[in-house]
Structure 1
Amino acid sequence: GQLDDAVMHCLRAIELEPAQTLARKNLGDCYVQMERLEDAMEAYADAYELDEDNAGLCVAIGNVWLETGEPAEAASWFHRASMLEEDCIPAHCGLANIEREQNRLPEALARLQPLYEQQPENIELLLTLSDIHWDDGDAQSALNHLYTVQKLQPQRTALYAKIGHILASAGDVDGAKARYREALQQQPQCIPALSGYATTVKGKLDSAHVEQMETLLHNPKLKPGALASLHNGLAFYYDGKKDFSRAAEHMAQANRLQWQHKQIRGWEHDTVQYENHISRLIETFTPDYFQRVEGLGNNSERPVFIVAMPRSGTTLTEQILARHKNVLGIGERNFATQSLNRYTGNKAAQNISPASFNTLNGKLVQALAQDWLDRLDRLAQQSGKADIRRIVDKMPDNYSLVGWILTLLPNARIIHLKRDPRDVALSCWMTQFGAIRWACHTEHLIHRIQQYQRIMQHWREVLPGRFLEIDYELLVASQEKESRRLVDYLGLPWDENCLTFYESDRLVRTASITQVRQPVYRKSVARWKAYRELIPALFEPLS
């Protein structure tokens, strides 16, 4: 971590031997770690002038382009590296990461799987595959790859923290805490472990770790991303201690620094663009549209979708249903978006227009629907659970794709989870999402909630009675009554196991962390009131 000294030695090496590529490459690597991406690119460019046929250098340049949100430029450098070295795994991992960012997860997995079969212990390959599986909602596969890395490199402290994060997000709180503690035993100042541990145990975090985190905040060498993680962990700690004023301060700092960290990497969020996207959906999926597509899709009754804003109770609802003997929960899957991308020729879902659906290709719709069902069947077979009649996908963002889902799967059951938007706003404001770009600014967050409300009202008007709406507040207040409504809607007999959802040992992707493994969590109702005077800008537009 002594990056300033490392840079000094690289510069001295260049001074001693100006024609050496390695010193310039190492200098660029140091600058990347210091988040000085422009300086890194300049160092790599100097090295490239000396050695144009260096595949590793091409990969490094591609990675900087990818970091700064320029996937097309990045791809050209990764392709050059793979031409120089056909089996250049870092180059293929770079291309897979581009596909991952574009939500083309099947393509990313297909690219890396043959390489994995040849080199099952390649560290970079294992880490990239783990990230792809995690994005695809497959927590167990993501963990399996990380466990392999752990066996190969047990001294890799950050890996323990990464495993802890997945375990916590998948509901294995005890396993997560154990991993975080292991990381902190190896490296007491491991920021991902400190932050993850604080987020998991909240107000029960011991004072030594709190003091460590507070001290690290004053380290001038820490970059915005690391500082954001520390503030986020401390926000959860002080919230657990009911010191809401300090918690609110740390939330604000965490979001400000998170955005600063991501902006360097090309992050942006255009509220006008998203509002226009919702407008195009409303213009596309009209009553006339649903009359035209009637009979095109597959009539399977197996699929079930839980849709909502993030942090609205989708995980709780899925866990209740997944305890039923005839129900399989598959977590958050990107199948809806992926099928829409395939229909539109891999155009971004936000670029669709009514013209794209004027004349639907019936054969393609049937093929996409069958492919979707085949993927569900494979997950059912892998689960080992017998007599599965319903398969539940809890991807919250599918709220905008209800029309598309019912085009392909007209008999799918859709459950809409509603929660007080002020509690949704607070929960999103507190959570450091990995990929969500609209939760770091209050105005972005509020706008997203308002557009969600707008499209859901549209679905109510054009698809009356077509989906079940559940109030989160009623679900936690009257669990059995609302659980029976859910099971009845699925057309299944009642199963008492649905009342003990917290006893499940399934790994599910969620940001809810500890709530999945405990009885119904009533403290999350009206939490926003504790912050009403502290973050008024977050709540007033939603009141």
Structure 2
Amino acid sequence: MSLQGEGAETLEAQARAALARGDLSSAQRAAGTLARRHPERAAGPFLLGLVAAEAGRFGEALPLLRQATEGEAAPAEQAEHLAQLARILILLRRDGEAAEAAQAALTLAQQASALTLDTIGCVLVRLGDHQSALAPFGRAVEDEPDNPVYRFNLAAALGFTGEVAAARAHYEAILERDPGHARVHYALAILSRQSREDNHVTRLEAALAKTPGREDALRLRYALAKELEDIGEPARAFAHLAQANAAHKAATGYDFARDAAIFDAIEALFSNGDTPLSTGAGRGGAAPIFVVGMPRTGTTLVDRILSSHRDVEATGELQAMPVAVKQLAGTRSRLVIDAETIAASAASDPRAIGEAYLARAQHHRRTGRARFTDKLPANFLYIGHILCALPEARVVCLRRGAMDTVWSNLRNLFATQSAYYGYSYDPLDTARYFARFDRLMAFWEARFAGRVLQLGYEALVHDQEGETRRLLAHCGLDWDPACLAFHQNAAAVATPSAAQVRRPLNAEGIGRWKTHAEDLREVAAFFQSAGIALDG
């Protein structure tokens, strides 16, 4: 591609076109020429920043995008520059700066393109502000109604905020144009409970028969399993799950030994009471309430109960504690948690961890309430770090029957690219993970006696008021009857439990594994040999 004599507009168009087709070297040449010949134009550094970001060089991208936001540009360009800066900041887990950039972009929304509006919405979603994301997502769909990505993002946000009918309508609109869209099929399946008379099983089977891709097949089989379970066909549901999970485990190469090493490192670290982490003074203040546990065991339910209290705000599933520990440990591995990082955190200053955590969490607080919940289930791995770094924080761990926990983890499709959920694609791996979780919770009770409330899901269902009073007392909260009406809480829910927590408490989820007792017999035998009760 010759750039000799090209004008600024032509160079910009060439760089954008090259970016769109993934030709980073051509985009780099055009954007570099633009920046050299026309240093007064913000488009040069902006496009160079996008090229660097696409190549994964975020450290290089960030100053270029900042330079672009400080240059002179038309309002629509300013909005684009700010939105892309916010996107890179959120990827770098710099949530506060990302929020500022996103809000600045929002002020220019009237001039923003559909792509810019969608980008702003995606940043707001990553910040947990699903309600605010509706407006930019909606505008993006208005401007480009045939773009399935923009419509999917709007539908997902509507589902999170409880607008189920509107979400369903947008998902169906996507399927009218693309009947095989696997992500949409799965999103529709989990949006609400299906019935014998009204379900998508036939449509899903047709889509599965035509799909060539493993990832699409994974989502379609999970969708089929969910809907078949809903309509009372558990054997067919389990068969789809088993096939999907076996293929995904084979593709990812998951090995339970990696997770076992993390558990071993945590127990080794906190068995030694003479480390800077254990002996240093943490950060005071009782604002955070950590709701932890294995996924799909009632953590969202308890978060809704607590955030229905007049003094408590829900901030969602924050990565703030894992990132704070990783940051202070200083390890160079790409994983946020691994055995090396846990061991290295022994030398960390607990107050510094507490300060880093609170600084990150603050960016997700939107009300003036005195307390807030952090509902990242995996924080059960960080209970020792939490209690050393934030000694006045309260921790609640959800416990659910072993077999129901295994089944609920198997039947839910978590983030497929996340190393944390690798165990969940095999029944025995999930059982082994539960056993180590169970052992770790006993370890925390011995190490930090009385500082973690282990709350049984089954006990909460059977004695809602009594267990809610015990929960509030542990968290240092006075009684608020609104906590019993958690299902009336209008806040967004961005987990697979969204539909369940908008209904009153019920016992439907207790003992559901027994429908699949034959398929789970090896899991039951494993727990029995380990001395772990099958039911809560």
Equivalents in 1 of 2:27, 2:489: separation in Å? Answer: 56
Do structure 1's residue 236 and structure 2's residue 221 form an aligned pair? no
Residues 497 and 174 from structure 1, CA distance in 2 versus in 1: closer, same or farther, beyond 3 angstroms?
farther
The correspondence for 1:352, drawn from 332, 341, 360, is 341
- 1:502 matches 2:478: no
Q: What's the secondary structure of 1:203's corresponding residue?
A: coil
Distance in 2 (alpha carbons) for counterparts of 1:534 and 1:287:
42
User: In the TM superposition, what is the alpha-carbon distance from 1:219 to its structure 2 partner?
Assistant: 1.1
Alignment gaps of 5+ in structure 1: 1-21, 30-43, 64-72, 382-387
Query: Partner residue of 1:226?
Result: 216
- Alpha-carbon shift at residue 497 of structure 1 (Å): 1.8
Contact 1:314 1:417 in 2 (8 A): yes
192-201 or 391-400, larger mean C-alpha shift = 192-201
Match of 1:306 among 277, 291, 311: 291
Moved more, 93-102 or 514-523: 93-102
Whichever residue aligns with residue 409 of structure 1, its letter is L
Structure 1 equivalent of residue 240 of structure 2: 250
Q: Which amino acid aligns with 1:398?
A: N
| 1:157–1:289 Cα change, 3 Å | same
**1:78 offset after TM fit, Å?**
8.0
Rate the CA distance shift 1:366–1:305 in 2: closer, same or farther, 3 A: closer
Aligned-residue CA RMSD in angstroms?
A: 4.0
TM-score with structure 2 setting the length: 0.76
Deviations 1:353-409 (A, max 9, x none): 4454336375x3564365257446x4323xxxxxx3432221111101111112221
- Partner of 1:307, secondary structure, is strand
Corresponding position of 2:367 = 380
Q: Is the 8 A contact 1:390 1:490 kept in 2?
A: no
Displacement of 1:482 in angstroms is 0.8
User: Is the contact between residue 298 and residue 369 of structure 1 (CA under 8 Å) also seen in structure 2?
Assistant: no
Could you say which residue in structure 2 is the equivalent of 1:53? Answer: 29
Cα distance change on mapping 1:249 and 1:224 into 2, 3 Å: same
Task: Report the Cα offset of residue 190 of structure 1.
Answer: 4.2
1:160 shift after superposition: 3.3
Per the alignment, residue 326 of structure 1 pairs with: 311
Match status 1:405 vs 2:386 = yes
Task: Please point out which of 359, 364, 368 is paired with 1:371.
Answer: 359
1:390-539 maps to which residues of 2 (within 5 A)? Answer: 390-434=371-415, 435-436=417-418, 437-438=421-422, 439-539=424-524
| Contact map agreement 2:199 2:227 (CA 8 A) in 1 | no
CA distance in 2, matches of 1:76, 1:206: 50
Cα–Cα, structure 1 residues 111 and 284, in superposed 2: closer, same or farther, change >3 Å? farther
Aligned residue in 2 for 1:214: 205
| 1:201 shift after superposition | 3.1
In the alignment, does 2:285 pair up with 1:296? no
Query: How far off is 1:189 after superposition?
Result: 5.0
* Residues 366, 256 of structure 1: alpha-carbon distance in 2 compared, 3 angstrom cutoff: closer
Task: Say yes or no: does 1:275 pair with 2:265.
Answer: no
The 1-side partners of 2:261 and 2:86 are apart by: 30
Q: Is the 8 A contact 1:164 1:176 kept in 2?
A: yes
Change (3 A) 1:229 1:488: same
Identical columns (%): 24
Query: Structure 1 residues 143, 404: closer, same or farther in 2, change over 3 A?
Result: farther
Greater length-normalized contact order (CA 8 Å, ≥ 6 residues apart) = 1
Size of the aligned set, in residue pairs, is: 481
Q: How far is 1:250 from its partner?
A: 1.6
Q: What's the secondary structure of 1:424's corresponding residue?
A: helix
Measure the CA separation in 1 of the matches of 2:248 and 2:134: 26
Aligned residue for 1:523, secondary structure, equals: coil
TM-score when normalising by structure 1: 0.75
SS of match in other structure, 1:349: coil
* Amino acid of the structure 2 residue aligned with 1:487: L
Distance change in 2, residues 1:358/1:226 (3 Å)? closer
State the shift of 1:411 in Å: 0.7
SS at match of 2:290: strand
Q: Which moved more, 1:126-135 or 1:445-454?
A: 126-135
Counterpart of 2:140 in structure 1: which amino acid? V
Residues 149-193 of structure 1 show CA distances to partners (whole Å, capped at 9, x for unaligned) of 223222334433333334435555444334334444565554433
1:259-312 C-alpha deviation (Å, 9 max, x unpaired): 57xx5xxx5644323322222222222462589756722321221111101101
Secondary structure at 1:416 match in 2? strand
